[in-house]
Structure 1
Amino acid sequence: MTTDAAARTVRARKTYGHGDTAVTALDDVTVEFGRGRFTAIMGPSGSGKSTLMHCLAGLDPLSSGEVYLGDTALSGLSDTALTRLRRERIGFVFQAFNLLPTLTAAENIALPSALAGTTPDREWIALVTATVGLGDRLDHRPSELSGGQQQRVAVARALATRPDVVFADEPTGNLDSAAGAELLTFLRHAVDEFGQTVVMVTHDPVAAGYADSVVRLADGQVTRS
């Protein structure tokens, strides 16, 4: 079976705990995320939006159902194969930036390739860093960068390997409104100009306004997509 979805779930269910203390975070969720599109996942606290993203990215296994990255079913992968898939085909952007403090911006951006033991595509990375406006800050360490600049480094790192999907979990949560708008504009540009697929969890309707579509969750179920 082939699909135009970059990522999708089929009857995804995720339960934490057992018996009377069990909590169902995802309840029979079937949803697709199109290639080359920017999708926001929204919902109130506890709706399951971060759980959905973590399961889509292979960070957390489902209790039942299936997650596909393209045509690859994640449940059938060994731990080693799943680690390789996350490293080679998925980019991550988190609210807390997650940059290594001892590395320069350039070294942080090249880190996925270094971990994979591959040669980075320097022409591509140069294009990404120029687009995100980091050309004169590449020799600086994270402590020498503003929050907005650190998050732009994180986005450039996520794009460095040309992943199938970039998952962004509240990427503007630690940024002021101006830096947040710059970051969202770049993610929008990555979709429009680079053909990137972006899936972003956010509680902010302004941030969601940059997306092509919104998937809304409530009580672990899709209410509108």
Structure 2
Amino acid sequence: MRISLGAAMLAGTMTVLASPAAAQATPRSPLLELDRSELRTQIQSRFDTAVRASQSPEIKRSEDSRYIWASEAKVQCGIALGYLKSGRVDEESINKCDAFSARLAQIEPVAPTPVATGPVTPPACAIEPTVSVFFDWNSEVAPAEAQNTIQQIAASREACGFTRFTVTGHADSSGGDAYNLRISERRANAVAGLLESAGIPRSDLTVTGRGESELKIATADGVREPMNRRVEISASGQ
């Protein structure tokens, strides 16, 4: 059994980012017509809404796509905010932030399933194929929101039968090969440290850095692509 984690007991595919909908062309958001101050306010609002939704126990347990869209919106709105803080308007992340936020708002909750009589079968351990923790440029410090993901992974460990965890660090193409390899290793070790603090023994972890050799989004050399600055966490029951 080979799996990777997002939020504990997540149904569907996230990553945050490899869903079929994420691959489709995203329409231009009307938010791009706003001035910089109002644009940042609107993106921050969507980010805050997505964070609350992705942490909601009701949404995590839901059988619809709300958790997927909340996770997608959180990542894309966070990327858009990062660019805005550096003085850049990144149209792609803004378009996706607005599109995923709209999908999240339009989905109606699924009616609860009637409780069956007789013995109750525990739900299957259905979680993400891939979970990524994203880092700021030139940083090896895990963002504050990573702590919630780490705690969910640790909480699901026993229920899902996880015994081995792979923690793989990556970098974008903005630095030299040697530097990118080192920072990817430091990022992986930072996340491994959080997993240890959450109760997962170091002996259960395999920690590696891949530098810029496995870009999530292909770019030319020297590009500061936020999606490539990440640590991927995967787990298995063997």
TM-score (norm 2): 0.25
**Greater share of strand:** 1
Answer 1 or 2: higher relative contact order, Cα 8 Å, separation at least 6: 1
**Greater share of helix:** 2
Instruction: Compare CA radii of gyration and give the structure with the larger one.
Output: 2
